[in-house]
Amino acid sequence: MVRSSLTLAAILALAGCQQAQAPEETGVCWRVSQDAQGAVHFLPLARGVDTLETCAVLLEGLRLKGETEPDGAYQGYFILVDAGAIKSGPHLTGLHYPVFQPPQRAEVDRDLRRLMAEHGGRLPDASQLSLERK
């Protein structure tokens, strides 16, 4: 009985350590939020999104509109956005890689501000975004 109690305690401890998994649904850009208990929630931001970079641009648009940390997810990867960087990785915590380098982000921000001004302050649709690789 003692052994089964210890096994159950170990399983419960490991379950508490498991990290949230980003949805893998094709073409959906998700908003990510955490509640006070640390549970992760996903809400679709846009559908028909072609790339992780396009999803990152949409999330950056939310930041430019005043949201402090509009984190998201795209096809199994988290996208973390703050004033310092846009990063992506398979988990909310741990190692993340930059989605855009600073000069690329500055260009994205300039183009996003222009598009949002043309749309009366609203975010452009994902289909209106095109990213040119340099």
Concatenated DSSP letters of the chain: -HHHHHHHHHHHHHHHHPPP-----TTEEEEEEE-TT--EEEEEEEES---HHHHHHHHHHHHHTT-S---EEETTEEEEE-SS-EEEESSSSS--EESS-HHHHHHHHHHHHHHHHHTTTPPPPGGG------
Beta bridge partners of 33: 41
| Domain annotation covers residue 17 | no
The C-alpha atoms of residue 47 and residue 89 are separated, in whole angstroms, by 20
Q: What is the per-residue pLDDT for 45?
A: 96
Task: Flag whether 52 is in a domain.
Answer: yes
6 in any annotated domain: no
pLDDT 10s digits, 92-105: 999 999 999 999 99
| Structural domain includes residue 97 | yes
Residue with the bigger pLDDT between 90 and 126: it is 90
Q: Residue 11: what pLDDT?
A: 39
13 falls within a domain:
no
pTM over 0.85, yes/no = no
Determine, yes or no, domain membership for 46.
yes
Instruction: Give the model's confidence band at 133: pLDDT under 50 very low, under 70 low, under 90 confident, else very high.
Output: low
Structure confidence at residue 97 (pLDDT): 97
Does residue 12 sit within a domain? no
Q: Which domain holds residue 49?
A: 22-128
- Among the listed ranges 6-15, 56-65, 74-83, 110-119, which one has the minimum average pLDDT value? 6-15
Kindly report, residue by residue over 27-48, the tens digit of the pLDDT: 999 999 999 998 999 999 999 9
The C-alpha atoms of residue 19 and residue 72 are separated, in whole angstroms, by: 15
